Structures are given as C-alpha cells and as structure tokens.
Amino acid sequence: MDWAGDIQGVFFDMDGTLLDSEHLTDGAIEQVAKAKGLELAVDCSRFHGVTWQETAETLIRLEPRLDDPNLVEDLQASFHTEMLRAPPQEIPGAVAFVRHVAARCPTALVSSSHRESVAAVVARLGLDEGFSLWVCAGDVGPSKPNPACYLEAAKRLELAPQNCLVFEDSQAGVEAGQAAGMRVIAVGKQGPGARLAPWAIDHFNELPAGFVAALGAR
C-alpha cells in the first residue's frame, strides 16, 4: 500500500464495515416476509449497503405480494427489533482505527442508513469525535452503488476523490467508492465486496503497522 502517502481523507461505511450488523438486515427482511406468510428465495446480501427505500422497491419487484405502503417502515422497525434483540459488535479494531485516523486526517461516515440510526451507532461506539462529517440516507439522491454519497463527502471536505480512501464491505459500496475514483479496501475477505476490491481485510487489526502514520505523508 505504497499509495498511503497520497491519501488525505478516509471514508467509512457503517453496517458491515465498522459494525458486524449486515446479518441483522437479512433477519429484518426475513421477518417482514414471514409476517406476510412468505418465504423469500433471494440472496439478501444484494440489499447490503443500499437504503431501505431501495430495498423495499427491489423486494416488491421480486415478490409483488410484499407490496405495501408501509413496507419501508416495517423493514426499519424489524431492523431495530433485531438490533435490540442481539446488539451487534464492532468489527475488531474498528473503533481504535477510526480514532487514530481522525487524529491524522479528515474522516467521513458514509452510510445508507438514516441519520437517527447513524447517530445511535456512533454514540454506542463512542465515536462522537471520530468523524469530520456524516453523509446519510436522504443527504444525496441515489444510494450506493451510485458514487454520489462519496463524491458529496469529498466535496464537503474539499478533497480530490483520487486522494480519498474508502472502507466498504458490500458490493454496492465498493462499486460506489470505485466509481467515485477513490481507492477502496474491502472489509470481509469472503464478502461480496472483496471480489471487486484490490485490497481486502477481515478486520482493522490486519492493516500494516505504520499504515495510519503513512497517510498523507507525501
């Protein structure tokens, strides 16, 4: 990673990247379908990294019997129920890494979750001072894999996209970071995002010693 010296800003996805929570998305979708007497024959990983609105629209296309004006709210409520039932843990090393990076260069939390959910997770992880800004669902138009959210973060921080690094776990997220012209490290070597990213880690403790110190060194 000899390019680390060119990096002037580091952007993080939330669910699945900082927080081991993507399985809660799967559970929320399954529970909503089950409540309607349906079993979905679909890989729920396709919904990782996208907004609940887009998830609902895709689900209705795949299974018209899910069509309901309250589907987005039902999915969100089911997700919060899953979080309360089994609170997710941080990806190992995530909190310490964010703090170290934040002391070195600007950071952004770029999530497809709504701002209320992001605020709750940030507070729970003790990262209130960990990010220069957040870009959440509703802040920009299209969700990942569209690069708009990452480009918005770079714009607000007055950084060139090529000088930004993204940490993402989902295929949609990795595609968004790459489409923005940023370097991307996938979190989860066996996850869908790792198939697209040139670098992948299972947790933040795997990053090379001195990586943070090298950021922006050139």
Full DSSP string of 100-132: HHHTTS-EEEE-SS-HHHHHHHHHHHT-TTS-S
Which pLDDT value is given to residue 149?
97
Same fold yes or no, 4-20+89-214 and 22-85: no
C-alpha distances (whole Å) from 164 to each of 33, 41, 183 are 39, 38, 7
User: Is residue 44 scored above 80 in pLDDT?
Assistant: yes
Report d(CA 102, CA 174) in Å as an integer: 22
Grouping H, G, I as helix, E, B as strand and the rest as coil, residue 214 is helix
Tens-digit pLDDT profile for residues 92-136: 999 999 999 999 999 999 998 889 889 988 998 999 999 999 999
Show me where the domains of the chain are located: 4-20+89-214, 22-85
The predicted model scores a pTM of 0.83
* Backbone angle region of 9, left / alpha / beta, with phi > 0 → left and psi within -120 to 50 → alpha: beta
Tens-digit pLDDT profile for residues 130-179: 999 999 988 998 889 999 999 999 999 999 999 999 999 999 999 999 99
Region 197-206: mean pLDDT is 97
Give the CATH architecture of domain 22-85: Orthogonal Bundle (1.10)
Please state which of the four CATH numbers 3.40.50.1000, 3.40.190.10, 3.40.50.740, 1.10.8.50 is assigned to the domain occupying 4-20+89-214: 3.40.50.1000
Tens-digit pLDDT profile for residues 16-31: 999 987 788 888 899 9
How many residues in the chain? Answer: 218
User: Is residue 12 scored above 90 in pLDDT?
Assistant: yes
Percentage of residues in the chain having pLDDT higher than 90 = 67
Number of H helices, E strands in the chain: 8, 6
Instruction: Tell me if 47 sits within 8 A of 79, measured CB to CB.
Output: no
Which pLDDT value is given to residue 49?
72
